[in-house]
Homo-oligomer: A and B are copies of this chain.
Amino acid sequence: MPQTGRSGCPINLTLEQLGDRWSLIVIRDVMFGNRRTYGELLAQSEEGIASNILADRLKRLTAAGLLTRRPDPRHRQKGIYSLTEAAIELVPLLAHMGAWGRRHLRPSRELSVRAELLEKGGPPLWNAFMDELRHLHLGAPRPPRSVFSELQAAYEKALARRPAGS
């Protein structure tokens, strides 16, 4: 009954969808970096994702119902990717991943500022952020608070402290 995979355990099913080195990176960049096109995702990738892997993941994530793709009216060949509700509900997961990585691995100072804010804000902040993502990606009404700007501002402030690159 649990379709095709290895087992019907929810953790295993999540791992079968997202348990690779790139899927969540792509979602993270769309979500926190607001990268909405193939070119943005490729060029501004902090980790340097390869073009074929990016194309593959965009296809898989779209097929899995985590992203949608609609053509850009101004540039016909361009596609604009949006998060679905299912992907937006990964916010708590990504927040926890950031918090765990921040505590147990050795993150760079600038890049962990957002994770720190998300951890300190907790579920209320996550919910506000999810509402904002529903506005940005699903056309829901604009919420009063822009967590996105807060995260971005904190990141840029941290960047300014260390003007010379990583």
Listed in ascending order, the chain A residues whose CB lies under 8 Å from chain B are 1-3, 6-17, 19-21, 24-25, 28, 46-48, 65, 86, 89-90, 92-94, 96-108, 110-112, 115, 166
Q: Which of B8, B20, B46, B96 contacts A93 (CB 8 A)?
A: B96
Q: Which of B2, B28, B93, B106 contacts A100 (CB 8 A)?
A: B93
Most buried by B among A11, A47, A97, A115: A11
| A interface: dominant SS | helix
Tell me, rounded to whole Å, the shortest Cβ–Cβ distance linking A145 to chain B.
22
Q: How far is the CA of A108 from the CA of B7 in the complex (A)?
A: 8
Are B112 and A8 interface neighbours, CB within 8 A? Answer: yes
Are A25 and B12 interface neighbours, CB within 8 A? Answer: yes
Q: How far is the CA of A106 from the CA of B108 in the complex (A)?
A: 37
Q: How far is the CA of A92 from the CA of B98 in the complex (A)?
A: 12
Q: How far is the CA of A12 from the CA of B100 in the complex (A)?
A: 11
The 6 closest A-B pairs by CB, nearest first: A8-B108, A10-B101, A14-B101, A6-B47, A13-B105, A9-B111
Are A11 and B101 interface neighbours, CB within 8 A? Answer: yes
Q: How far is the CA of A16 from the CA of B92 in the complex (A)?
A: 19
Are B47 and A2 interface neighbours, CB within 8 A? Answer: no
Contacts of A106 in B (CB 8 A): 1-3, 8, 13
Contacts of A17 in B (CB 8 A): 101, 105
Contacts of A20 in B (CB 8 A): 19-21
Are B89 and A11 interface neighbours, CB within 8 A? Answer: no
**17 residue pairs A–B, Cβ–Cβ below 8 Å:** A2-B106, A2-B111, A3-B106, A7-B46, A7-B111, A8-B108, A8-B112, A9-B101, A9-B111, A10-B111, A11-B115, A13-B107, A14-B100, A17-B101, A17-B105, A19-B19, A19-B24
